[in-house]
Structure 1
Amino acid sequence: MCLIAFAWNAHSRWRLVLAGNRDEFHARPSMALARWADAPIIGGRDLQAGGTWLGVTDHGRCCVVTNVRDPRDPQLGVSRGLLATDYLGGAASATTHAQQLLRSAAQYRPFNLLTFDAHAAFYLGNRPGPGAQAVTPGVHGLSNADFNTPWPKTRVLMQRLQDWLDHTGTDDFTALFDALADETIAPDAQLPDTGVGLERERLLSAAFICGEHYGTRASTVVAIGHDGRGLIIERRFGPNGRFDGETTLQFGESSVT
């Protein structure tokens, strides 16, 4: 994922509401949102490395990963997509997992990771060094920088999620998908300088990136209730923003651990 806004324990019905876009090269093969046959995971699948960028489980766990935008970093190490599958397929709580991952985080390619279970949520990263912090109740955002870094598109998506919580908060996620489809380019004065050049900073500043070779491949909304039941909706896109389909799956149990 490359843009995420989420609300953690900030709504009377939903424990977690997450909206995010996955930006990737269109040539990289992936599988659409589905229940995996070989693991207790519900999510898309990167067919090149075998992991996922965003997934959930029937026990109300959720995990999402982004890279860190730094062209100076050699991008060496274990695939970050495996971080999500390891968490979702494991039995460790979010708290225990965070403690354990800190010991091996440096072995992975640059990553930002969000983990959620029935009781806790964590942000973990490994640039400039391994770190973890518990997520507090409220609305938060993440892109290809540190947790809650106020990039323009992150701030906008967080605000639109807050508006949805304040005025909707039901099963109608139209406004969240509208926010994820926003192709507005941020003003130059608001752009970060991540070392990729002004033209690319402009391109990457939109929530939805519409490109021939690189762009938004999937827009996803996850909603998990306080009872552990939820749904995940994925809209998929091809080159130049071509709509390639939508999948909705329900999951969860009335009692989660």
Structure 2
Amino acid sequence: MLYLTKEQHLTGGIAMCLISLQLSQNASYKLILVANRDEQYDRPSLPAHFWPEYPDLLAGKDLSARGTWLGITKQGRIAAVTNSYLTTTQESDQKLSRGNLVMDYLTGSMGPNEYLDQVRQQRTDYNGFNLIVGSSDSLHHYNNILDEISIIQTGNHAVSNATLDTPWPKVTLTKAAMAEQASSSELDEEAIFRIMADRTPPSDDQLPDLPLDLPILRAVSANFIRTERYGTRSTTLILIDHSDRVTFVERSYLQDGTSSDVRFNFQLMAEEK
């Protein structure tokens, strides 16, 4: 079995290293979800779009494994994944792509409980992950290393690469900053993008305990990551109001620091039984 080096372990596969969720915390929106996708710069992908083969699916596409890291359907199915490094220091390139977990939920018909029960039976087929599936009315979380399924309660949450609400500095600071945003009567989209684009690392005594060299650990402990070969490739913001109107904004970043946005607005439809 082939194992990755420490740097490859950090950067290999589909990775989105920070997701923030506010459930019923804002007067206008019942769900505020914002997420950074961190990945190797040379891993090819497409920005968020409605897929021709799945016309109701809005998501970016990883062109290496043909999956995605986050998406939503016109029927309101939501899924997102991060890598989990809670107790493992090595990853195998023989495992299945974690992007399949997101795709299978978004293009399927199972409810979140049934789907995660199925995933649980196959948890060793994947390297470590945090998986969030459901809808704006009911989101569920599963970490395959801890083998724990939970309903995400109303409130303010975040996950990086440990498990849900593990108090890593970027998780704690993002939760506090997003709670302030969610409490405002006028949500400021650009302020949210600035939170996710913060490159300030925590002090060394607050760095998470990961098997990485100190310069790399500092770099990846910031919300927005930029290293020579790996960094934050995109930030996605999903807003769902109390009338089930969706605002979806994705900001993609190039290695040279330039960025571009795509924006979608649509009304959720009832899911066919």
Give TM-score scaled by structure 1 length.
Answer: 0.92
Listed as ranges, the matches of 1:1-257 within 5 Å are 1-39=16-54, 40-69=56-85, 70-74=88-92, 76-128=94-146, 130-170=147-187, 172-240=188-256, 242-253=257-268, 255=270
What letter is aligned with 2:150? Q
Q: Which runs of 4+ in 1 moved over 3 A?
A: 73-76, 254-257
What letter is aligned with 1:175? A
Separation of aligned partners in 2, 1:163 and 1:118: 20
Separation of aligned partners in 1, 2:239 and 2:27: 12
What letter is aligned with 2:148? G
Tell me the matched-pair count: 254
Q: Deviations over 1:109-168 (max 9, x none)?
A: 21111112253110111114x321111100101001111111111111111110111124
Sort the Cα spacing of 1:159 and 1:75 in 2 relative to 1 into closer, same or farther, 3 A: farther
Separation of aligned partners in 2, 1:7 and 1:188: 29
Q: Secondary structure at the match of 1:66?
A: strand
Q: Which structure 1 residue ranges, 5 or more long, are not aligned? A: none
- Aligned identity (percent) is 32
Q: Secondary structure at the match of 2:199?
A: coil
Separation of aligned partners in 2, 1:126 and 1:103: 10
- Mapped contact 1:118–1:256 kept (Cα < 8 A): no
- Mapped contact 1:60–1:229 kept (Cα < 8 A): no
CA RMSD of aligned residues (A): 1.8
Deviation (angstroms), 1:254: 5.9
Q: Deviations over 1:170-197 (max 9, x none)?
A: 4x31110010111101100100111112
Separation of aligned partners in 2, 1:94 and 1:252: 22
Q: Secondary structure at the match of 1:183?
A: coil
What letter is aligned with 1:28? R
Q: Deviations over 1:222-253 (max 9, x none)?
A: 1112332212111111115x223110112332
- Mapped contact 1:3–1:20 kept (Cα < 8 A): yes
Give TM-score scaled by structure 2 length.
Answer: 0.87
Sort the Cα spacing of 1:31 and 1:122 in 2 relative to 1 into closer, same or farther, 3 A: same
What letter is aligned with 2:215? E
Q: Secondary structure at the match of 1:106?
A: helix
- Mapped contact 2:31–2:136 kept (Cα < 8 A): no
Q: Which structure 2 residue ranges, 5 or more long, are not aligned? A: 1-15
